[in-house]
Amino acid sequence: MTFEGRFADQILPDQLHILNVSFLVPGLRRDFGGCAGNIAYSLNALGGRALPMATVGSDGGDYLERLRSLGISTEFVRQVDDSFTAQAMIMNDRDNNQITAFHPGAMQQAHITRVTARDDIRLGIVAPDGREAMLQHAEQFRAANIPFVFDPGQGLPMFDGEALRHFVELASWVVVNDYEGKMLSQRTGWSFAEISERVQGLVVTLAAEGCEVWTRGEREHVLPVKPTAVVEPTGCGDAWRGALLYGLEQGWALARCAALGNRLGALKIAQRGPQNYQVDRQALGL
């Protein structure tokens, strides 16, 4: 939603104890989103085979049909009849300040679906999800001998140092942005170099500055890709995640995977919505 004024002009600081405001939002857009759907879209567009594991509510029929129309399997997408699909209501003002309300809905039951060993599943990711789902799926990936990426994103603050150290010990790769990386390091008590010694690789994304790739205690900077336009950042991280998974599945070095992620993130940021960009595989050299 787009509010054409400024929040600061509508909210009186000395009246917050009786806050009661209303915003006229002439601009309204609804997009398909969510980490599982966005990552699946990215991986599928690159030519990979995505198997999103997630939950949708009674209102999720349109999303299931969209995934199937894109050729994305819904085998591991559970529909919960007595809940709404998780959704975020985001309102921006003219200064790009943002107010967000997030309803987890069916996501709170994501832990019901289990990860099990299967010959055609070679790689996984634990991305932001319900807390129990993230904990249990990490354990299940390890039990099934499926290497996985731990990329907690906005879910990271839900976990204390002990839980985060356990995630790192279970994972094959760890991905965080700069802010999340500082929190991860602070809560685990491990430096980036020390984390990278415990996994096959750590990536710290730096937005417009590219990213750092850490392997065996050594750091490598992967250059950014300048987008043709900066339209909307929502979904950039998920586009990057899909590219990472594609590269890892191909057996690429981690820095090459990150470079493809930077290119796909730049492609996505030039379009509105998390799943509206088009991928030219030939132009990407795939």
- Catalytic residue numbers read 238
Q: Which residues of 196-212 are buried (b: 16+ CB within 10 A; e: fewer)?
A: beebebbbbbbeeebbb
Neighbours of 10 (CB within 10 A): 12
Q: How many CB atoms lie within 10 A of CB 61?
A: 12
Contact 272, 230 (CB under 8 A): no
- The answer to whether 211 and 204 have CB atoms below 8 angstroms apart is yes
Q: Check if the beta carbon of residue 277 is closer than 8 Å to that of residue 239.
A: yes
Helices (H), strands (E): how many in the chain?
Answer: 9, 10
Residue 194 CA, chain-centre distance (Å), reads 24
Question: What HEC string does 84-144 produce?
Answer: CCCEEEEEECCCCCEEEEEECHHHHHHHHCCCCCCCCCCCEEECCCCHHHHHHHHHHHHHC
Neighbours of 172 (CB within 10 A): 17
